Amino acid sequence: MSNLEKTEIRLGYVPLLDCIAILWAKHQGYFAEVGLNVTLIKEASWASLRDRLAFGFLDAAHCLSAMLPAATLGADQLGIPFQTPLVLSNDQTSISLSQKLCFELNITAHDAPESSAKKIATMLHQQQNIRLAHVFQHSIHHYCLKEWLALADAQAAHTLKLLTLPPPYMVEAISKQLIDGFCVGEPWNIQAELEGLSTTICASQQFAPQIANKVFAVTQEWAIQHPNTLNALCQAIIKAQNDLKMIEAIDDVWKILIDYNIIRFNCSQFIHVQSFHKIQNIIQNLVPEDVSPKASDFEWIIHQMQKWDKLEVSDEKIKQIAKQCIVTL
C-alpha cells in the first residue's frame, strides 16, 4: 500500500492467549500483504508495555482495555491518551486459588462465586492474611477480583490490599507460596491447575458483564499521524481473527503458542485433553462478530475506577472519556 505513513512497525504484546491474532497475522504474512514489516516485541509486564507505548518505543500494542480510560484521565500518572480501533478479546479471565487454601476452606471449582467469596471473607474477618494478585491496577482482572469479593463483603473488597504481578509470573509466585490466588487470563490458570498448584474457582463472566478485555491500541497522537498505517494493521489482524474463529486443525496455532513461550506445559490431543480443547475453544471465541470497540465497555471500566480507585468524575465526563478511547477507521 503506497499511501502508508510508516511501514516499519514495532508491535508489543504480553504472552497470553489473546495476543494470538497478532502472532498469527505475523506468521501468515498478513502484515506483509498490506505492506508492513512488523517486529513483534514481547514485554515483561503490562507496566513496561504501557510505558513503552506511551513514549514511542512501541508503535502499537496488545493492551489492557482499562489502560485506555486511565491514560486519558491521567490516572496512570502519565496522561498520554491511548485509543483503540479493534477488540482483541472479550472478558476471558478467571480467578484461581491455591489448592492448599481450597482444601482448608473446602472451596471447589463447583462452588458458586458467592460461596467461595464468602469463605474468603470469613477468613479475612478472622484476621488471617490472604495474598491475592492481579495483573495491573487498571485492568478487568483487578476489578473482577474486587467484584467477586464484594459478592460476600463489600467492606472486605475495599480494604484487602491486592498484589500486582505480570501474567507469566503468577504460576511461579503461587508455586513458591508468595501468593494464595490470582486473577489472570489464560493460559496461566490452566498451567497452575495442571501443575497441581491451584484450582480455578470461577470465571469473571459469572458475575461481571462481557466487555472488551484486551484491545489493539496506539497513542492518540500516533493514530492522528498514521491513519492509513493503522487501518492496514487492523486489516491484517482482523483477517487473522477470522481465520482463528473458523480454524479446525489447531496444530500450527499451537506451535506458535509454544514457540512464543505462551504454552509452557505438556498438553495436546493426547495429554491433558480437556485443557487442550478448552484452549482451542478460547482461541476460537476470543472476539464477537463485531470487533469494533464499544463506548459502553469503557463506561463500565470508568465506573469501576470510581468504585474501587476512588476516581472522581462526572457522568458527562465518563461518556466523553469513553468515546475518546475509540478511534474510528
Q: Which superfamily does 8-90+211-324 belong to? A: Periplasmic binding protein-like II (3.40.190.10)
What average pLDDT score do residues 306-318 get?
Answer: 93
- Tell me if 8-90+211-324 shares its fold with 93-206: yes
What average pLDDT score do residues 202-216 get?
Answer: 94
CA dist., res. 229 & res. 241, Å (int): 18
Residue 67: how many CB atoms within 10 A of its CB? 30
Position with higher pLDDT, 157 vs 91: 157
Domains of the chain, by residue range, sit at 8-90+211-324, 93-206
Can you state the angle between helices 140-150 and 113-125, rounded to 10 degrees?
80
CA dist., res. 36 & res. 1, Å (int): 9
pLDDT at position 253 over 90? yes
Residue 108: how many CB atoms within 10 A of its CB? 12
- Confidence grade of residue 249 (pLDDT, cut at 50, 70, 90): confident
pLDDT at 2: 64
Position with higher pLDDT, 248 vs 220: 220
Average pLDDT, the chain: 95
- Confidence grade of residue 248 (pLDDT, cut at 50, 70, 90): confident
Residue with grid cell 476460537, as numbered in its chain: 284
- Confidence grade of residue 160 (pLDDT, cut at 50, 70, 90): very high
Class of domain 93-206 as given by CATH: alpha beta
- Confidence grade of residue 149 (pLDDT, cut at 50, 70, 90): very high
Give Cα 65 distance to the centre of its chain. Answer: 8
Given a contact cutoff of 8 angstroms between Cβ atoms, the answer to whether 107 and 201 are in contact is: yes
Closest among 236, 196, 267 to 17, alpha carbons compared: 267
What average pLDDT score do residues 162-166 get?
Answer: 96
Closest among 92, 99, 107, 79 to 321, alpha carbons compared: 79
pLDDT at position 224 over 70? yes
Question: Parallel, antiparallel, or unpaired for β 181-185 and 8-13?
Answer: unpaired
What confidence tens digit (pLDDT) does each residue in 86-134 have?
Answer: 999 998 799 999 999 999 999 999 999 999 999 999 999 998 899 999 9
What confidence tens digit (pLDDT) does each residue in 17-67 have?
Answer: 999 999 999 999 999 999 999 999 999 999 999 999 999 999 999 999 999
CA dist., res. 95 & res. 89, Å (int): 17
- The grid coordinates listed for 252 are 500450527
CA dist., res. 85 & res. 329, Å (int): 7
First to last CA, the chain: 16
The whole model's pTM is what?
0.95
